[in-house]
Amino acid sequence: MIVRTRHIERVRGLLDRHPVVGILGARQVGKTTLAMQIADSLAVPTARFDLEDPRDQARLGDPMLALDGLRGLVILDEIQRCPSLFPVLRVLADRPSRPATFLILGSASPELLQQSSETLAGRIIYHELAGFHLDEVGIGHLDRIWLRGGLPLSFLASSEPASLEWREAFVRTFLERDMAQLGFRMSAVSLRRFWTMLAHYHGQTWNASEFARSFGVSDATVRRYLDALASALVVRLLQPWHENIAKRQVRSPKVYVADTGLLHALLGIESADELLAHPKSGASWEGFAINEVLHRLEVTHDRCWFWATHASAELDLLVRTGSRSLGFEIKHTSSPKVTPSMRIALKDLHLDELIVIHAGRDSFPLSPGIRAVSLARIEEDIG
């Protein structure tokens, strides 16, 4: 079992400060395993309810009776299956001296987020969980996690064919069953076609009209599909940054399939050799590296941006943390070079530093204000 130390420490800190903490993540991302690792690290009584288990549903038939007497840590798994618990949690969270802290786990459905934010305002904070990252599996498995993605059962599969088989089954089950359970009422066939098409646009700027023409539907319909997959945390939108400069800037988001293993399954990529030869190899590496950088900096996707002008200047990732403004360019090469676009971004965005993430082994300076950092060394070389 891989112990997810960084996530454990982060959630433990949130539990110290908030009466209710929610762990949100896509299906099969490891929310339950993480919750149990957190429980094992705490010297307090723990009670867990799985709301997909009929026996636990029966125990919570009278939720106040079932939960009021519990002490320590109470884990409520798949909370989106029972949103009626939120008013009860509000009452329990407001008790003096906090006899129990609640850790709720769920996939991000609109109903869950809306009801929890309305009922538990000021009492709940969320921690978003993605799949495994390099610091958890070790840099020796970089190529493996890039190909298979970070979903635990895919990464830990006994072979490449077994991993791909699991991911293909995940995509099918997710579209045919899980999306409906999360409250999205859409045709699984249409959504599969849309998600596959989106995989071919991975790393590109969203163009609703182009998608709508391909599907023969309205712009609003394809936007509804996009929002559904983004809400379920299997697609990421990287929003554009606008600087006050005299240049026309791109104002549409970039789209990424959140997990590279799912991206490769949707693209029909079966092996590392096929991945390196595929036209989307560079874009796949870009999405993978961006996820690793954000994990290292502990920044969520809603706190970062990309930047591009219609004159072809661009920056793959802009992160503002505190008083620092960091730019990142992603290059799937072992010998990155400074480009005119990098110099424009460094100047126009007033960056403290521009870092080029590359596929080589070493980190080294490229130019004043611009540094090359190996993806395998981001733990040591990015702080």
Distance (Å, rounded) from C-alpha 351 to C-alpha 327?
A: 6
| CA dihedral of 276, 294, 75, 163, whole degrees rounded to 10 | 0
Domains for the chain: give ranges and CATH numbers.
5-128 (3.40.50.300), 135-381 (no CATH)
Closest by CA to 89, choosing from 21, 158, 43, 171, is 21
Q: What is the pLDDT along the chain (383 residues), one digit of tens a residue?
A: 788 999 999 999 999 999 999 999 998 999 999 999 999 999 899 999 999 999 999 999 999 999 999 999 999 998 888 888 989 999 999 999 999 999 999 887 655 666 666 778 889 999 999 999 999 999 999 999 999 999 999 999 999 999 999 999 999 999 999 888 887 888 899 999 999 999 999 999 999 999 999 888 899 999 999 999 998 999 999 999 988 777 888 889 999 999 999 999 999 999 999 999 999 999 999 999 999 999 999 988 778 999 999 888 899 999 998 889 999 999 999 999 999 999 999 999 999 999 999 999 999 999 999 999 999 999 999 97
Element (H, E) at 6: helix 5-17
Question: For residue 340, what pLDDT is reported?
Answer: 95
For 25-160, strand residue ranges (E) read: 46-50, 72-77, 100-106, 124-128
Q: Are 34 and 75 in contact (CB under 8 A)?
A: no
Q: What is the pLDDT of residues 144-176, one digit of tens each?
A: 999 999 999 999 999 999 999 999 999 999 999
Question: For residue 270, what pLDDT is reported?
Answer: 96
- Residue 237's Cβ-side half-sphere holds a number of Cα atoms within 13 Å equal to 17
Distance (Å, rounded) from C-alpha 29 to C-alpha 43?
A: 26
Question: For residue 115, what pLDDT is reported?
Answer: 67
Helix (H, G, I), strand (E, B) or coil at 138: coil
Closest by CA to 167, choosing from 286, 283, 270, is 270
Element (H, E) at 257: strand 254-257
The b/e string for 172-205 (b: 16+ C-beta within 10 A; e otherwise) is: eebbeebbeebebebeeeebbebbebbbebbbee
Question: For residue 246, what pLDDT is reported?
Answer: 73
Q: Are 308 and 250 in contact (CB under 8 A)?
A: yes
